[in-house]
Amino acid sequence: MKIAIVGYPDSVEKILRTLSSQYSGVTFLSYEINQLGEPLDHLNELRGKVDGIYSTGIGVYSEIVNQLELDIPIVYSNREVGGILKALWKVRDDYSDLSMLKIGADIVKEKTLNQVLEEFGIKLESVTVQEYLENKKESDFLDEHIKNLAQNKVNCILTSFGYVYDYFKGKNIPVYRLQASRNEIINQMDNLLKDIQIHENNKNRIGIKIIKIVKRTKKDENFYDKGMFKVKLNQLFLKYSKIIHGSYQELGDDEYAFFTTQRILEKNDNHDFFYKILNQVVIPSDKLAIGIGYAENIQEASKNARKALEISLINGKGEAYLFSDNKIRGPLYKKNRLDYMTKVSDNLKKEAKEIGVSPKYLSKIKAIQESLGKREFTSKELSEMLEISERSVNRVIKPILDNGFATTIEYEVCSKVGRPRRVIRFNF
């Protein structure tokens, strides 16, 4: 088994040192990132090379998820009680009287930090915490620390960022590194190993792909010999079936189903070949729909593929959708792909009611935020991602704005004559 450790050099070194002695059957590969926000193109080589990724913090984790589409388990090293105590222990070694300290911390939860201080009777003059936000860059955390120092709100920094630590260390400003404790590192590694096992088990599930060729009019059918079309399609589908080590079946009404495993269907080269063979036989006026389903047995996988096919038919763009584990993914192989749950939880229903939007749209908007790693969107962006008109987007957004869960931050001028589009920032 191979695990990549990705993050700031000192954290990578610590995690590697901790884990290599504990997990002899695992090969660890180190990948260093000096500052968040830099391109991670070099991590593309991890595809098919490692079984999982251990990132050194939530910021690195978010960068990997947002920049790369790596379909492998990922965990991050969290900063909990052990890491906080270790940092405070170093502070205590340098300061005999902690009551004069005004601590500025980042990434840790304010509630957790205060609980540690209270539990161990540590009295500080004040505590200022910058909790993690997806749209907040590493440089933003640094700027906030600098501002707080200038305003005398803090006089000592506890940071989870190696870049921020090195900056203040170079300025001779009191700064201490917040790193996960040994136990926290090992616990996350155990979680990663469990995720990898589940991921591998899922890969062996049944995978079914259904395609439907829809003739738009009777006139279109006259453009080709139906008998020859069937023969050619049969030859190509047999070839594709061998590549995916599976079989295919004609379901009737121009529907075809392919049976294999999830692991094989998820290989990109198979997707490329599949679209290539379709282009050889399908006439331009045809409309396609593609649905993929995964499950433990053929019946459930077929049912899931059928649900995905229905979504593809409704959208009518010849795009592929996947349904599995109560989650819709699609359109596949597109930049605007979304992953969202179809089973609405009671908490989501309650949140949607408070915000003033349907659970369906709330789930999709959250999926868009997670997919793109931001909370600010134009109405055009939302229209494309939600696959509804801009007018419909404005109707969806209005109650969210009215209830204070979004704000209009600026207007984007798209052309000299066109109406400017609002830029909406969601607050959830």
What pLDDT score was predicted for residue 361?
85
In the predicted model, what is the mean pLDDT of residues 385-400?
85
Per-residue model confidence as pLDDT tens digits over 138-165: 888 999 999 999 999 999 999 988 889 9
Instruction: Report whether pLDDT(223) > 60.
Output: no
Mean pLDDT value of segment 284-302: 85
- The model's confidence at residue 421, banded by pLDDT at 50, 70 and 90, is low
Cα separation, 160 vs 181, whole angstroms: 12
CB atoms within 10 A of CB 71: 11
Tokens, residue 237: 């589908």
| pLDDT on residue 190 | 93
Q: Count the neighbouring beta carbons within 10 Å of the beta carbon of residue 278.
A: 19
Non-local CB neighbours of 49 within 8 Å, separated by 6+ positions: 2, 4, 29
Q: Find the mean pLDDT for residues 3-24.
A: 90
Tokens of 425: 């920032």
Mean pLDDT calculated for residue range 379-393: 83
Between residues 368 and 122, the one the model is more confident about = 122
Region 374-393: mean pLDDT is: 83
Domains detected in the chain: 2-76+186-201 (3.40.50.2300), 81-179 (3.40.50.10660), 204-334 (3.30.70.1230), 340-426 (1.10.10.10)
pLDDT beyond 80 at 232? no
Q: For the chain, what's the residue count?
A: 428
Does residue 283 have a pLDDT over 80?
Answer: no
* pLDDT at site 278: 67
What rounded mean pLDDT belongs to the chain?
84
Q: Which residues pair with 3 in a beta bridge?
A: 28, 52
Total-model pTM: 0.57
Give CA 81 to chain center in angstroms.
Answer: 26
Max avg pLDDT among 154-158, 269-273, 281-285, 388-392: 154-158
Q: What is the pLDDT of residue 284?
A: 55
Of 128-137, 138-147, 240-249, the least confident:
128-137
pLDDT band for position 300 (50/70/90)? very high
Report the pLDDT averaged over residues 353-376.
Answer: 82
**Checking phi first, is residue 150 left (phi over 0); if not, alpha (psi -120 to 50) or beta?**
alpha
Instruction: Kindly give the pairing relationship between strand 247-252 and strand 320-324.
Output: unpaired
Contact present, 19 and 53 (Cβ < 8 Å):
no
